[in-house]
């Protein structure tokens, strides 16, 4: 298989071997084509091609994606299914852009999502996994994954979902798009064009007796409001939010206009994650043909932090006094308070402010009995 490889196969295989999310085939002002790959959120140059080889590569990929190869002056986009040497098939989304230097092509590689069984497989420490399993063993509340683009939030989200017993819980997801099909879960894909937004989807699935609600990403006040209320009224909510870290993930809710004390009382905890790019230990960042980093010089890996907000933290978060809050967290840790449980009850009284909770409480009264039969949410650990 390694012999006699077509050039587009060689480049795509190289990108896949490096776990690249995107491949850029870009004409430069110097009359060359530059190939770059995005790995762990960062762009790395992979090589250069003579202009005619670069153009030929673009053309071959356009043929494979069934694009109009005669058209080079207008942008096009398409997709193809790529059968890789590893025996798996990858969906590749492909887009062209006419530039003053020539036709640029960008490939987005969609990896078959690996369903991890344990959070430690993602790089978490065992004690962190234990804390998160405790969060997930609750019947209500919200677990939020905060991180920037490309930090692997979705993988973490599906791993959390895998820790919940779907045979004994009704699980609903609202995603954009659905990335992994799960057995025993009701997954709905957002379709803005016909008005099926995160908000309308959430409102609809709340009428289907959910135990666990998974929200692909919280982007609007409407979604954030529904999610927080659901978490405070007998549902376990798992969601991701775009933010730099765990603390700013909570600030994001405040910025969206959700009452801070409700956010804090709804949250079981926040997982902050981002990609780190440590220098490759094998080649020390001088890759050449390093097999360990595959020529990148770094080995991207996710890094996690766990945070449980308290009412006392709200003023710090509201004023974005992040450093002062970190000092406070260090103090709390010093006194043996792991910040994991408790401190939610005092704010429960605030829930009465909201319409609809009364009715919901009646409904959960029935459900509580049912859950007694099934033994509650198994934590698998």
**What is the DSSP code string of 82-94?**
EE-TTS-EEEEEE
Q: Please report whether residue 39 would count as binding Zn ion according to CB under 5 A.
A: no
- DSSP letter at 192 equals G
- DSSP letter at 114 equals P
Q: Please report whether residue 292 would count as binding Zn ion according to CB under 5 A.
A: yes
Strand 301-307 relative to strand 267-276, pairing: antiparallel
CA proximity to 312, closest of 300, 321, 302: 321
Q: Which of residues 90-129 bind Zn ion (CB under 5 A)?
A: none
Q: Please report whether residue 293 would count as binding Zn ion according to CB under 5 A.
A: yes
Q: Which one of 85, 282, 324, 333 is in contact with Zn ion (CB under 5 A)?
A: 282
- Angstrom distance (rounded) from CA 79 to CA 89: 13
Q: Which one of 119, 283, 317, 329 is in contact with Zn ion (CB under 5 A)?
A: 283
**Residue whose entry in the numeric block shows the structure tokens 């080995």:** 299
Give the range of 216-224, 282-290, 320-328, 346-354 binding Zn ion by CB under 5 A. Answer: 282-290
Q: By C-beta, is 54 or 295 nearer to Zn ion?
A: 295
Q: By C-beta, is 1 or 282 nearer to Zn ion?
A: 282
Q: By C-beta, is 194 or 288 nearer to Zn ion?
A: 288
| Rounded alpha-carbon distances, angstroms, from residue 73 to 33, 201, 222, 273, 353 | 18, 39, 41, 41, 59
- Angstrom distance (rounded) from CA 209 to CA 363: 9
Name the minimum Å distance from CB 44 to Zn ion: 12
Helix (H) or strand (E) holding 354: none
Name the minimum Å distance from CB 286 to Zn ion: 8
Q: By C-beta, is 122 or 280 nearer to Zn ion?
A: 280
Give the range of 7-15, 67-75, 273-281, 362-370 binding Zn ion by CB under 5 A. Answer: 273-281
Q: Which one of 146, 185, 280, 329 is in contact with Zn ion (CB under 5 A)?
A: 280
Q: What are phi and psi for residue 203, nearest 5 degrees?
A: -60, -40
CA proximity to 136, closest of 265, 8, 269: 269
Structure tokens at 4: 């006699």
Name the minimum Å distance from CB 297 to Zn ion: 6
Answer positive or negative: Cα dihedral of 250, 251, 257, 260. Answer: positive
Give the range of 176-184, 286-294, 344-352, 362-370 binding Zn ion by CB under 5 A. Answer: 286-294
Structure tokens at 3: 């012999």
Name the minimum Å distance from CB 284 to Zn ion: 8
Name the minimum Å distance from CB 301 to Zn ion: 14
Total residues at interface with Zn ion (CB under 5 A) = 7
- Angstrom distance (rounded) from CA 289 to CA 114: 27
Name the minimum Å distance from CB 288 to Zn ion: 8
Name the minimum Å distance from CB 300 to Zn ion: 12
Footprint of Zn ion (CB under 5 A): 280, 282-283, 287, 290, 292-293
């Amino acid at each position: 298989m390694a012999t006699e490889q077509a050039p587009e196969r060689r480049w795509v295989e190289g990108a896949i071997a490096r776990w690249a999310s995107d491949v850029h085939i870009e004409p430069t002002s110097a009359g060359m084509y530059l190939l770059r790959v995005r790995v762990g959120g960062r762009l790395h140059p992979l090589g250069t091609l003579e202009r005619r080889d670069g153009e030929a590569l673009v053309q071959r990929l356009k043929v494979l994606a069934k694009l109009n190869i005669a058209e080079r002056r207008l942008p096009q986009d398409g997709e193809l299914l790529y059968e890789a040497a590893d025996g798996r098939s990858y969906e590749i989304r492909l887009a062209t852009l006419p530039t003053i230097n020539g036709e640029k092509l960008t490939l987005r590689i969609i990896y078959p999502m690996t369903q991890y069984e344990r959070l430690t497989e993602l790089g978490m420490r065992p004690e962190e996994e234990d804390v998160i399993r405790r969060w997930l063993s609750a019947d209500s509340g919200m677990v939020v994954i905060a991180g920037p683009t490309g930090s692997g939030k979705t993988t973490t989200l599906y791993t959390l979902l895998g820790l919940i017993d779907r045979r004994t819980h009704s699980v609903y997801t609202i995603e954009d798009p659905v990335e992994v099909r799960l057995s025993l879960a009701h997954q709905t894909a957002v379709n803005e064009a016909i008005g099926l937004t995160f908000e309308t989807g959430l409102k609809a699935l709340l009428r289907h007796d959910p135990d666990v609600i998974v929200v692909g990403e919280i982007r609007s006040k409407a979604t954030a409001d529904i999610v927080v209320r659901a978490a405070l009224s007998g549902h376990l909510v798992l969601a991701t939010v775009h933010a730099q870290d765990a603390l700013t993930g909570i600030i994001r809710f405040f910025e969206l206009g959700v009452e801070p004390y409700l956010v804090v009382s709804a949250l079981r905890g926040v997982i902050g994650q981002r990609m780190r790019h440590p220098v490759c230990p094998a080649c020390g960042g001088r890759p050449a043909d390093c097999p360990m980093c595959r020529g990148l010089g770094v080995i991207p890996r996710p890094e996690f932090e766990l945070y449980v907000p308290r009412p006392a933290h709200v003023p710090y978060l509201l004023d974005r006094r992040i450093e002062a809050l970190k000092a406070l967290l260090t103090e709390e840790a010093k006194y043996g308070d792991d910040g994991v449980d408790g401190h939610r009850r005092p704010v429960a009284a605030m829930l009465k402010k909201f319409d609809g909770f009364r009715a919901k409480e009646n409904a959960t009264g029935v459900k509580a009995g049912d859950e007694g039969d099934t033994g509650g949410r198994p934590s698998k650990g």
